[in-house]
Amino acid sequence: MPTDPDVLVGFRTGDDCGVYRLAAGLALVQSIDVLTPIVDEPVVFGQIAAANALSDIYAMGATPRTALNFLAIPPEDFDLDDAQAILRGGHQKLAEAGVALLGGHTVEDPELKYGLAVTGTVHPDRMLSNAGARPGDGLVVTKPLGTGLIATAVKADLAAPGHAAAAADSMTRLNAAASRAALACGAHACTDVTGFGLVGHLLEMLDASGAAAVVEVERVPVLPGALACCGMGLRTAAGVAARGFYAPRLDVADGVDELRLDLLHDPQTSGGLLIAAPDAPALLERLHSHGVAEAVLIGRFEAGPAARLRVE
């Protein structure tokens, strides 16, 4: 564990980034994320990977400043034009975010991978973390769930084109406006919903905050086609594993829709922010007025048994 007193956020809370204090009013925020392809189009894959990497910085309430690329290319039967398209897509998202690309590293690997290391800055007194949720806070999510299931359907040629496009649009959308809104409305805690699904990342927040929470499953926004994918029996291996792993910490009310419960465990790529909001109506109003139209109040934090989650 870090012993340097300037390490403000390290491993302990399971936060999205590490945070290191450089001066009284300035801290460095760092993260890295690498993905295997989740869509067929190289440019869109690059955009998704960049948005996914930037999301960790936004989840801390920080401003992303610089990035480094990482690209792993199969040594045989790979079109270098696709590699250029992936990097171009990543750079497009960095430019949208106002982030400077400083360089990167390329290696040979049997499986194509692309990701970015991103560095941001934040005032140490104004950063967000996993650890501040309080009983009485509203629980707000800013993007719909279902990217893992839609991607699985795409690979099996079972996804309608419109559903695949909606998922790609969600994954390429930056969390910048949602982060600014959370800060402006005094959010107590924040994380983003990615590989551990909504349940996994919410439980990390509950662990770090010493709180409990309730999720009203019918309120949780879902991507078009995601419930239909569940109904066809499609699941991701990570989602199935997560449901089994987290089950002992969930209290599920009678009558909860099993398909929606599965979606709470669906691993997301470049998912939305999960925000503990002391004034949820004010936050939602700000989110909606700043283009985060799919943000929804899905539950609340409570004082009940710490790190327990009730789904009703």
Same domain, 110 and 181: no
Same domain, 58 and 167: no
CB atoms within 10 A of CB 219: 12
Q: Sorting pLDDT into bands at 50, 70 and 90, what band is 77?
A: confident
Domain boundary among 67, 90, 122: 122
Would you say residue 2 lies in a domain? no
Same domain, 307 and 183: yes
Domain boundary among 90, 122, 154: 122
Same domain, 295 and 169: yes
Same domain, 108 and 179: no
CA distance 226 to 80: 33
Same domain, 33 and 66: yes
Q: Sorting pLDDT into bands at 50, 70 and 90, what band is 2?
A: low
Same domain, 153 and 256: yes
Domain boundary among 122, 150, 171: 122
Same domain, 11 and 52: yes
Same domain, 176 and 279: yes
Q: Which candidate, 101, 174, 121, 117, places its Cα nearest to that of 143?
A: 174
- Give the model confidence (pLDDT) of 91-127 as tens digits: 999 999 999 999 999 999 999 999 999 999 999 999 9
User: What would the two tokens of residue 30 be?
Assistant: 């760092």
- Give the model confidence (pLDDT) of 49-76 as tens digits: 999 999 999 999 999 999 999 999 999 8
Same domain, 221 and 281: yes
Q: Quote the number of domains for the chain.
A: 2
Q: Please, which residues bridge with residue 12 across strands?
A: none
User: What would the two tokens of residue 164 be?
Assistant: 């695949």
CA distance 277 to 35: 30
Q: Sorting pLDDT into bands at 50, 70 and 90, what band is 3?
A: confident
Average pLDDT of 246-258?
A: 97
Same domain, 136 and 112: no
**Residue 61 belongs to a domain with what CATH number?**
3.30.1330.10
Q: Which domain holds residue 235?
A: 130-311
Same domain, 112 and 154: no
> Do the beta carbons of residue 67 and residue 118 sit within 8 Å?
yes
**Residue 252 belongs to a domain with what CATH number?**
3.90.650.10
**Is the confidence at residue 175, as pLDDT, over 70?**
yes
